[in-house]
Structure 1
């Protein structure tokens, strides 16, 4: 009984302890997943990011299966965040400024359905927030946005060599990103709002 009471007191934070913050997850697709990881990692309140695949019919797909464009999966980024520090709206803001939302055929130099952009919602509140965010951008910028807003489905982590690629292979990542024209197009679309680092 005494041990139970001690654990209850510690869990409540009476002695200065804190209960671990409850985290939430969001999933976004914006072309090559290497290029979405850095911007989300840099956002205060984001605890973890993970490159992966979602939206298709194959369980545990490989990069080769997804990159063929026949699996139905999209390259995507899972973002784990602390909702007390950052909200879904802020994640959406970072997402939009890191993609070309006008392109229905892929993203930048990566072409095909496996590279299309999408917001995956977990519930009605996220769907509503995504739709409202999209509508505001269309009105403010005169855009016709091609980015899909889809219900979340099973997320499969990508192979280890894809995780934190921009950190593990900074030179190759830089050449890929520049060669793909990603930052140039982001600046063209968003101007000073463009999120081009890292």
Structure 2
């Protein structure tokens, strides 16, 4: 989820990590064990005067399968389920409206299952996870195609949105 946001104007920082669970300072292995309650997530620091929250949500929806309750593409389990973590009541309201608009758009035949949850403590992932797409471009690109993610995005949103 880092790449689509990373080079957008107004995006200050995109950090890979874990949130939503109860385990303090979890490791990747612990999160993947499905015993921490955490989601794999990104924390985005942005200048809302340049890149508003609504635009963040729009780009987010275009990077996921919001109808899959079991994870994302090859990655299965709670830690891979989609969620939006809000930091204020205004963000919650906008996220809920965004989800409702997507559901009503008819773009997806199945219900939108992405949860909208209050933000919890965010734990930064290990260094090797940060900007993984830059550190391991061949593996990253193979995964995009092999997992079906690239085809899904192209089918639902068109190539111009797979950044």
Q: TM tier, shorter chain? A: over 0.9
RMSD of aligned Cα (Å): 1.3
* Deviation by residue 1:38-83 (Cα, 9 ceiling, x = unmatched): 1011321101100000011100000000011121000000001011
Matched, 1:196 2:162: yes
Q: 2:64 aligns with which of 99, 102, 105?
A: 99
* Partner Cα distance (2:159, 2:64) in 1: 12
Q: What's the TM-score once normalised by structure 1's chain length?
A: 0.78
Greater CA drift, 98-107 or 175-184: 175-184
Q: What's the TM-score once normalised by structure 2's chain length?
A: 0.94
* Partner Cα distance (2:85, 2:159) in 1: 23
* Partner Cα distance (1:94, 1:194) in 2: 11
Equivalent in the alignment of 2:154: 187
* Partner Cα distance (1:177, 1:110) in 2: 12
* Partner Cα distance (2:8, 2:147) in 1: 24
Q: 1:41 to 1:142 in 2, by over 3 A?
A: closer
* Partner Cα distance (1:76, 1:49) in 2: 10
Runs of 4+ in 1 over 6 A off after TM superposition: none
Q: What is the deviation of 1:194?
A: 6.4
Partner SS, residue 69 of structure 2: coil
For structure 2, the 5+ residue unaligned runs are none
For structure 1, the 5+ residue unaligned runs are 1-35
> Do the aligned residues in 1 keep the contact of 2:62 with 2:157 (CA within 8 Å)?
no
Q: 1:58 aligns with which of 1, 11, 23?
A: 23
Matched, 1:169 2:144: no
Q: 2:12 aligns with which of 17, 25, 47?
A: 47
Within 5 A, what are the aligned runs for 1:119-158?
119-141=84-106, 143=108, 144-158=111-125
